[in-house]
Structure 1
Amino acid sequence: MKYKINEIFESLQGEGTFTGKPSIFVRLQECPVGCAWCDTKHTWEVSLEDEIKKPQFDLKKEESTKWCSFTSAQLLNLFSERGYKAKHIVITGGEPCMYDLTDLCHAFEAQGYGCQVETSGTFEIKVSKDCWVTLSPKINMKGGYQVLSSSYQLASEIKYPVARQSHVDDLQQIIHDNGLEHKKVYLQPISMKPAATALAIKSCIENNWMLSVQLHKYLDIE
């Protein structure tokens, strides 16, 4: 199977449980969810005119809509070519769960990597049993997609973006309706704005949740 890849890079995970962990990020192309605050809108559309070959992909240094097809074996070869040392792989997007990621996770895990997928939960999550699932449930977004009940149950952690009190109220309702009181819950201030950060801190303390502050943005790293 081939996967449409927008970019691959090595950095530190800046969010959730694995904050600070050296990671290889594999960003897949395409997402129809339509989050207004999305910081990777260049991954939303798939145009055949934007497909590039590996030599061009290797030279890609800036965000763009360009993408390249890779098999799992080709991805592993690329990690080796680039000399990546991290053993944790973050599969992100875009919306990565538009793909069946089971075989990809197995291929990575067979080579000693741990896998994490970051998803909106609006498509069926198909990953290996050991894959860490970071669910950032997106409700009432422009695309009109609904978060699947199965996504809530598969989540290893819930990472919820907040900017105003209604977002906190929505999350409380989600947790209650889906019996998620036992899940790890992180609040993430949208766009790192001071008011959103203050609200997130207050809400974390009141609800015994945790704070995710997008460490990579504060450090100005990829």
Structure 2
Amino acid sequence: MATTPTERVLMTEYPINEVFETIQGEGSHTGLPAIFVRLQGCPVACPWCDTAQTWDVLEQSKVAPADVIQVDGSIGRWAMHSASSLVAAFNQKGFTAKLVVITGGEPCMHDLTDLTQGFEAEGFHCQIETSGTFEVHCSDRTYVTVSPKINMKGGYPVLKQALVRANEIKHPVATDAHIDELDALLEGIDTSGKTICLQPISQKPRATELAMKTCIARNWRLSIQTHKYLNID
């Protein structure tokens, strides 16, 4: 059920894999309470993906809207929700976080304007986490984090529009080649006012040392996946 950037369908309901409240573990919002809204569907096919259950939107996996709220989304179930139905679910579950992190899957397969504006109208702040392989369509106030996925199996290029819209560019690194890839990607992009984060892949010591050294040299930010150290979602 993958769509291309030119086949985007405007929608007020979205396929949701899971919704849960936790602490944001990485990037500029590390440590903030957050409600994660994970969308179903992604054609990018990153080989290390830890949410591969979100790749396919299978009709036989569709469930009732209540069945994706504060449950384990690892089996790939999904349900359709709008901003208003999700806010109602937040309230029913007693969620208190005011940051909503829209992730996936690849959320920017969809026009997220209705979703982000709907959340903001209810007093929430929004963050989108995207691979940058689809154009980003959302409210002007939404904080966009692009974690560029380069040369993945799905064959989708990282788009300039996504990089320009990004408030934060968070790049996973393990080797010098990953730094070179990021430099090539950012060539010609005005990064003033953007936060550039390097995130060591799999918390490996060598990757962490490289990321730290590069962040110090370039005045970038180190992003550590603190939720993995804390063993939380």
Give TM-score scaled by structure 2 length. 0.91
Match of 1:161 in 2: 172
Unaligned runs of 5+ in 1: none
Distance of aligned partners of 1:128 and 1:193 in 2 relative to their CA distance in 1, 3 Å threshold: same
Match of 1:80 in 2: 91
> Per-residue deviation at 1:181?
5.2
Counterparts of 2:221 and 2:91, CA distance in 1 = 35
| Counterpart selection for 1:109 from 116, 120, 125 | 120
Greater shift in the superposed pair: 54-63 or 178-187: 54-63
Contact conserved, 1:160 with 1:188, CA < 8 A, in 2?
yes
Counterparts of 2:21 and 2:231, CA distance in 1 = 14
Contact conserved, 1:23 with 1:88, CA < 8 A, in 2?
yes
> Per-residue deviation at 1:56?
3.4
| Counterpart selection for 2:30 from 3, 7, 19 | 19
Query: Are residue 100 (structure 1) and residue 111 (structure 2) matched?
Result: yes
| Counterpart selection for 1:135 from 143, 146, 161 | 146
Secondary structure, aligned partner of 2:188? helix
Count how many residue pairs are aligned between Structure 1 and Structure 2: 222
Counterparts of 1:217 and 1:53, CA distance in 2 = 30
Counterparts of 1:215 and 1:166, CA distance in 2 = 24
Backbone CA RMSD of aligned residues: 1.4
Contact conserved, 1:135 with 1:155, CA < 8 A, in 2?
yes
**Which 4+ residue blocks in structure 1 deviate beyond 6 angstroms?**
none
Contact conserved, 1:123 with 1:148, CA < 8 A, in 2?
yes
Match of 2:5 in 1: none
Match of 1:211 in 2: 222
Query: Are residue 195 (structure 1) and residue 206 (structure 2) matched?
Result: yes
Unaligned runs of 5+ in 2: 1-11
> Per-residue deviation at 1:62?
5.4
Give TM-score scaled by structure 1 length. 0.95
Write out per-residue CA displacement over residues 155-190 of structure 1, whole angstroms, 9 at most, x where no aligned residue: 001000111110011112222332335521000111
